[in-house]
Amino acid sequence: VSTAWGIKRQTTLSLYNHVKNGGKIGEKYVSQISWDDLRPTDALLLDNGKGKGHIMLYINSDKKNSDNLNVYEQNISTAIPYEPIPVARRDVRSKIALMKKGYVPIRLVGST
């Protein structure tokens, strides 16, 4: 997500805190958006407020079944942040299931 957004590398907790507190990353903000407003390169964030979470980059929704979201996500766990180098994989996730788990759609927006 950080690479796609062109920002300094972030953790789920740092993104969670930016959304919660309105903090800036460089000259931009990370804001929560509506599930109905998802656009390519938005992200789906889950964090418990203590650094345990996950993030996915939204690609698009399936045209035949809008509950199916196409996403990129890290496909290996990292015990030590950034080691080994995370690799993204494409996956399909259920919007309803993500909502039930507590994922939040977020977007990087220009300076205001």
DSSP 15: H
Helix (H, G, I), strand (E, B) or coil at 70: strand
pLDDT of 7-38, one tens digit each?
888 888 999 999 999 888 888 999 999 999 99
Higher pLDDT pick, 112 / 107: 107
Tokens 């959304």 belong to residue: 19
Q: What's the pLDDT at 2? A: 86
The rounded distance, in Å, linking the Cα atoms of 51 and 84 is: 19
State the pTM of this model. Answer: 0.85
Span 63-102, pLDDT tens digits? 999 999 999 987 655 566 656 566 678 899 999 999 999 9
Q: Cβ(23)–Cβ(15) under 8 Å?
A: no
Residue 69: enclosing H or E segment and its boundaries? Answer: strand 68-74
